[in-house]
Structure 1
């Protein structure tokens, strides 16, 4: 297993759409939430999923993420992904509360492990890598997530603590209260 930085994220868009669709299937449509879609595609409708998700992913890859990393197996298949967003100035990150927007803020985003590989430590490897990378940049690690996702309790177990509710989200910070 190796974590590699993606230097040209948009070049990986097609592979990432397929990866995220596998996550969508493996979570029975729970993740990604596709909260902006009126009628979510079924978990066997790749074309429908791609139609609604690809433009969103293109925006995130091209405009939002400051760094993108993938975890690949020995054959090169993507098993997990994680992105960092730390240059918040001028970005339309409407889901991030003003109270935490600052030069010390580093967001962990787009964190997924293919469900078929859950429980093998891949998520921990990616998350620890992201936290350490943000620390190295002088940033505090934050996650903005939905409170009803399984990931919420995972983040709490990994040393994140809730700092606030914001809109339909919950904001977590690594090491808060420790």
Structure 2
């Protein structure tokens, strides 16, 4: 897998909607959670998914993400990860004020194609994101839902729960994936 920075994220919007829909199907509608949608589309309703998700994705690509990366095999997107670290300038209501400082870097939009799950691609993307944030002088955080599989995954990868915030769990990277301390 090659990890590539996306210089103009909005130009990749259509491919990303299709990729995220594939993740939505593969997680039986669990991710993305679409928590703002009153009636979530079925996992076979691409039009309904696109209608609900596209405005949110456009906001994230255009105004939220500071850096976006895709993991590719051949020309196929098999994973994504975004970094958000200029938090003071953004309307990120799901981020608690206590962590909105200059040292915080969020790992967002972290997904792997369900067909590639369990093959180490997610670990490579996550390790890349943690390393990149460290290069920028930031502490790596993730904000997820406690009921998602991602929560236990992050715990295994060296993140620790910092707090509950609204319906989310805020986690900070503490350990190396091997379990050794920094």
TM-score under structure 1 normalisation? 0.98
Q: Deviations over 1:27-85 (max 9, x none)?
A: 011100000001111111101100110010000000000000000002x1000000000
Ranges in structure 2 where 5+ consecutive residues have no aligned partner? 176-180
Structure 2: distance between partners of 1:70 and 1:90: 24
Q: State whether structure 2 residue 115 is matched by structure 1 residue 121.
A: no
| Secondary structure at the counterpart of residue 124 of structure 1 | helix
Cα displacement string for residues 7-31 of structure 1 (whole angstroms, at most 9, x for unaligned residues): 0000000000000000000001110
Aligned partner of 2:105 in structure 1 is: 106
Tell me the C-alpha RMSD between the 2 structures.
1.1
Cα deviation, residue 90, structure 1: 2.1
Q: Which residue of 2 aligns with 1:43?
A: 43
Counterpart of 1:13?
13
Alignment of 1:72-83 (within 5 A): 72-74=72-74, 76-83=75-82
Residue 145 of structure 1: how far off its partner (Å): 0.6
2:2 matched to which residue of 1? 2
**TM-score, structure 2 length as denominator?**
0.95
Paired residue for 1:145?
144
Alpha-carbon separation, structure 2, partners of 1:109 and 1:60: 10
Q: Deviations over 1:108-167 (max 9, x none)?
A: 000000111100000000000000000000000000110000000000000000011111
Give the Cα–Cα distance (whole angstroms) in 2 for the partners of residues 33 and 118 of structure 1. 19
Gaps of 5+ in 1: none
Moved over 6 A (4+): none
